Structure 1
Amino acid sequence: MIDLVLRAERVLLDGELRAASVAIAGGTVVDVAPVDAHHRAVTETVLPPGIVLLPGFVDTHVHVNDPGTDWEGFATATAAAAAAGITTLVDMPLDSVPVTTTVAALRAKQAAAAGNCRVAVGYWGGVVPDNLGDLAALAAAGVAGFKCFLADSGNPDFGHLDTARFRSAAARIAELDSVLLVHAESHAVIDASAPPSGVDYASFLESRPPAAEEDAVALVIETARDTGAHLHVVHVSSATVLPALAQAKREGIRVSAETCPHYLTFAAEDVGDGATEYTACPPIRHDRNREPLWAALLDGTVDMVVSDHSPCAPELKGDGDFGRAFGGISSLQLGPSAVWSHAAERGFGLAEVSRWMAERPAALAGLADRGRIAVGLRADLCAFDPDGTDVVDGTRLLHRHRVTPYDGMTLRGTNAQTWVAGRSAYQRAAVAA
């Protein structure tokens, strides 16, 4: 017996939107057929005209910060994810206590998540200067891959790797046939730059110049070439690194890259005095960086878009002083709508957005059973209204702390319902007439 049949006039299948019915049993898609095909099902749902059935989005860059802080948590993070149509998130290994650099720390994080998640959750393991001997055990314990920093992470328990240790870590990752995500900013360049201070965003921008990304990305490419490791550059913000990434890919070097909704949405020119809710590392750069990032997504130089949801308690945002502000943007619930808002303006379609925000992130995390709608894959789905609009009200977001630079923005694209392994995880409340 089929558990659920979803029927829609527009379903994203193999990169095309077409009418179809999707039959689900035991959490898996068991049939994709014409929209009016007969199915014996326990439940049947016909999506309204205009709603598009998409694969659930996959966000591989989320700082849940649990256990050990009150900055987010699995309950609120996964509720926000489900509201966005995100059906899988992968948690970053720092800004929890303990950081995820040992199997014991991973087990503590999994215990914090148990019974508190509305969507599927995976975990990255951390690479720090003294834990190379723990990587094999972490891989065997089930982490999706690993994350390291080439600059100060801001967390004394999660030290950055110098060049020698980074090369050793990459060689070990290659042996494990895993992937290493790299925060690619140069410690030396940042250390030589004036630290930020005061209410002027320019001081923060100048404290992390494009040269920091350029030097670090060059090291990543060289190391990937020498070791054969798959190295993934997280949160690309500067367009100046794109030619090097494109050339590395042409050479067949195992390097991939991501950017984030805030780099595709905002520009330094938008940031007013004391607006520390925009603080991120690397920083939101000038407007001239945005269009090259969009072009790099189109040509494959940048593979995907993920949130880098990095919340903190509001008092850590520095009270308007960029020199004291925690670097992170809260955006998990808003990512798909933010990206679709601007992608649609540029003539991109939902197929491209789904590839950037579902299929490719799933592949990065080794999740071959999701990111597309097809027989045999998990029934992780969302009902997305591409023409729906919302004005962001930070006080109504499901994140634990609601400080976000998106507050007050009108975003296009709303999620009506989310299914995780065939079970409803979120349903948007009807708006009274």
Structure 2
Amino acid sequence: MTQHDLAVRARRALTPEGERSVTVGVRDGRVTSVLSGDDAVLIARREIVLADDEVLLPGLVDTHVHVNEPGRTRWEGFASATRAAALGGITTLLDMPLNSVPPTTTVGGLEAKRAAAEGKLAVDVGFWGGAVPENSRPGATKELAALWQEGVYGFKAFLSPSGVEEFGHLSPEELLAAAEAIGEFGGRLIVHAEDPAVLEDAPSAAGRDYAAFLASRPDTAENAAIARVIDAAKATGTRVHVLHLSSASALPLIAQAKADGVPLTVETCPHYLTLEAEGVPAGATQYKCCPPIRDSANRDLLWRALADGLIDCVVSDHSPSTPELKDLDTGDFGTAWGGVSGLQVGFSAVWTEARSRGMSLEDVVRWMAAGPARVAGLRGKGGLTPGHDADFAVVAPEESFRVDVRELRHRNPVSPYDGAELFGRVRRTVLRGEDVRPDSTAGRMLVRD
């Protein structure tokens, strides 16, 4: 019998066929077999035997992370982000093209990212490119094709100001030009969808009142922008993806587009599923993000869309900054940086809420492993499947813990989850058959096939 490098024996494991008892064989960093029963005959040099209260999951996949290195490494960096990811059961992440300096909008910017990441990665990391006015104007889109040739997974665009000067937002004409260019080489356009005209007409945000901030980012801004993205996909046939959906009132529009065959996928985030506007304290700017956390009724509708399969995946949109930029001293929602830090605890937060709603761990794995991998085209990730990378998360789903923001491996101790009681302790993370340890640098830089 062929000897394996590793055998993983689990009474409970989440496989594409459902939850079952398995023995997983690993050779050369890949899954070679998934045998029924945790006592199956399999010869290996090393074994991992899960405890009775543990469940074997495929390594989670987070396709929406702002690492910010180089240029804004005080906000977050590759070493801190990938270690936080590993502690949360994430073995693969895709880095957004901002808020680094330079952004990943040129091949030179991508090269700077890769140089900054070298030797620092605890988990595998791939890169999104960016679609900005400079590379998306009609007749000036060659840089998009060059980035695609260099292996980015797609292109992020904003339809409203991004918050940083070096990453501009697209006009309707530029959005269509970018979609046409990206469609020509079979790429994917991923969009922060808020309409700038609607935002301009909304009340301005200022002060410590969260309700005033919420009114400044109405759901109608999301809905109008999502409609524009759908129209661009219809006109060009290009694959489009709506980032961080917070507006449940956009769901009928999304459902119709999918029914019509528009190549559209949609994500939402843990903070939209687990937090609610009614619970945001005055001045608690750690909750500020764009689009915003909305009310509990909206949250319930997002959960229903997840259960129905209308929303394709759940990813963090980890968008940290320094404490000073969050204006924690003044609590002014008008001036504070907009972004939630939750990379390390996203799985536990979603599982805690899903569990309370009668949903299964299998559902969470579909949303946070298989779904993101499928949407982004990450082959060999997101499932306990022969031929896939041997990436695993070992979790104790019924173990609870209290989040202490000072103990998170994010670079800065700011998170709306501070003090939260969550279920689902991640006890072990395995990347290509090897344990991810605090000093691990075995993560690889991924290039789209």
TM-score, structure 1 length as denominator? Answer: 0.97
Note if 1:400 corresponds to 2:411: yes
1:325 shift after superposition: 0.4
Offset at residue 295 of structure 1 (A): 0.6
- Number of aligned residue pairs: 427
1:117 aligns with one of 121, 124, 136: 121
For the pair 1:35 / 2:46, whether they are aligned, the reply is no
Secondary structure of the corresponding residue to residue 206 of structure 1: helix
TM-superposed deviation, 1:17: 1.1
Alignment partner of 1:59 out of 62, 68, 83 = 62
SS at 2:220 equivalent: helix
Residue 15 of structure 1 contacts residue 351 of structure 1 at CA under 8 Å; is this kept in 2?
no
1:209 aligns with 2:218: yes
**Tell me, what secondary structure is at the counterpart of 1:2?**
coil
* Letter of the 2:48 counterpart: T
Task: Kindly indicate whether residue 98 of structure 2 is the aligned counterpart of residue 94 of structure 1.
Answer: yes
Q: Distance in 2 between matches of 1:342 and 1:255?
A: 26
In 2, the alpha carbon distance for the partners of 1:352 and 1:379 equals 21
| Aligned partner letter, 1:308 | D
Residue 347 in structure 1 maps to residue 358 in structure 2: yes
Q: Does 1:79 align with 2:90?
A: no
The alpha-carbon deviation at position 347 of structure 1 amounts to: 1.3
Partners in 1 of 2:357 and 2:201 — Cα distance?
38
Q: Separation in 2 of the partners of 1:258 and 1:100? A: 21
Q: Give the CA deviation at 1:225.
A: 1.1
* Aligned pair partner of 2:306 in 291, 294, 297: 297
**Counterpart mapping for 1:126-137 below 5 A:** 126-131=130-135, 132-137=141-146
Q: Which amino acid aligns with 1:280?
A: C
| Match status 1:418 vs 2:440 | no
CA distance in 2, matches of 1:83, 1:317: 24
CA contact (8 A) 1:379 1:419 kept: yes
The C-alpha deviation readout for 1:169-194, integer Å capped at 9, x for no partner, is: 11111112111110000011112222
Aligned to 1:264: 273
Q: State the match for 1:158 in structure 2.
A: 167
Aligned match of 1:104: 108
Match of 1:430 in 2: none
* Paired AA for residue 5 in structure 1: A
**SS in structure 1 of the partner of residue 134 of structure 2:** coil
Which sections of structure 1, spanning at least 5 residues, go unmatched? Answer: 428-433
Task: State the shift of 1:15 in Å.
Answer: 4.0
Matched, 1:228 2:237: yes
> Quick check: 360-369 or 289-298, which moved more?
360-369
Q: In the alignment, residue 167 of structure 1 is paired with which amino acid?
A: L
Correspondence for 1:287:
296
Secondary structure in 2 aligned to 1:332? Answer: coil
1:359 paired with 2:363, answer: no
Question: After alignment, is 156-165 or 344-353 more displaced?
Answer: 344-353
Match of 2:197 among 178, 184, 188: 188
1:250 alignment counterpart: 259
**Deviations for 1:139-173, whole angstroms, at most 9, x for unmatched residues?**
01110111000000011110000101101111111
Partner of 1:276 in structure 2?
A: 285
Q: Distance in 1 between matches of 2:333 and 2:265?
A: 31
Match of 1:13 among 12, 15, 19: 15
Counterpart Cα distance in 1 of 2:286 and 2:385: 40
Query: Does the aligned pair in 2 maintain the 1:304–1:355 contact within 8 Å?
Result: yes
Deviations 1:381-418 (A, max 9, x none): 11111101110000100100010011111001011111
CA positional deviation for 1:426: 4.2
Q: Which residue does 2:4 correspond to in 1?
A: 2
- Following superposition, the deviation at residue 112 of structure 1 comes to 0.8
| AA partner of residue 383 (structure 1) | V
Cα contact 1:84–1:333 (8 A) shared by 2: yes
Look up the equivalent residue of 1:410 and give its one-letter code: E
In the other structure, the counterpart of 2:392 is 381
8 Å CA contact 1:183, 1:234 repeated in 2 = yes
Identity of aligned residues (%): 52
Q: Distance in 2 between matches of 1:32 and 1:207?
A: 51
Deviations 1:13-64 (A, max 9, x none): 2241111100101100011113212222111111100211110100000000
Task: Say if 1:260 and 1:308, in contact at 8 Å, map to a contact too.
Answer: yes
User: What is the rounded CA distance, in whole Å, between the counterparts of 2:416 and 2:131 in structure 1?
Assistant: 30
Q: What letter is aligned with 2:38? A: V
Q: Match of 2:187?
A: 178
* Aligned counterparts of 1:210 and 1:367: Cα–Cα separation in 2: 31
RMSD, aligned CA: 1.0
CA distance in 1, matches of 2:386, 2:98: 36
Quick one: which amino acid aligns to residue 142 of structure 1? G
Give the C-alpha shift of residue 291 in structure 1: 0.7
Deviations 1:277-297 (A, max 9, x none): 100000111111011000101
> Of the candidates 367, 378, 381, which is equivalent to residue 370 of structure 1?
381
